[in-house]
Amino acid sequence: MRVSEICRYCGGVIRLVPAEKVYQAATERLKQQRQWIYQCQNCNARVGCHRDSKRPLGNVANEVLRLKRVREGDLLLDRSLKPGQWRSLTEEELLLLTGPLSG
């Protein structure tokens, strides 16, 4: 599969960049060291590559097309958190995920 050189969303140039440039501090946690990503220089639409190669995994997609989890079971996720942020769950939220513990 070949990646287009022109972004279909904004018409920008798509370049092959190191994953470290995209994921920054999260690179190690995401196990993306020494990996490559095709990324639009204008709108940041992107697609990853197969491990240890520069062959794309698919087509370049922008943020709108990416899966965004909004709930886990009965628990609605906190929309005030930015990508990469987290917070501890309350006891009520834990109960929604695990159900009442019998003991």
pTM of the model as a whole: 0.54
Q: Which stretches of 2-82 are DSSP H helices?
A: 19-23
| Confidence bin at 64 (pLDDT 50/70/90) | low
d(Cα 40, Cα 47) in Å, to the nearest integer?
9
Q: So what's the pLDDT on residue 67?
A: 62
For 72-96, what is each residue's pLDDT tens digit? 888 888 888 887 788 999 999 988 8
Residues of the chain above pLDDT 90, percent: 12
CA angle 54, 56, 61 (to 5 degrees): 135
For 9-28, what is each residue's pLDDT tens digit? 888 899 998 888 877 777 77
CA atoms within 13 A on the CB side of 41: 8
Label residues 64-83 b or e (16+ Cβ within 10 Å = b): eeeeeeeeeeeeeeeeeeee
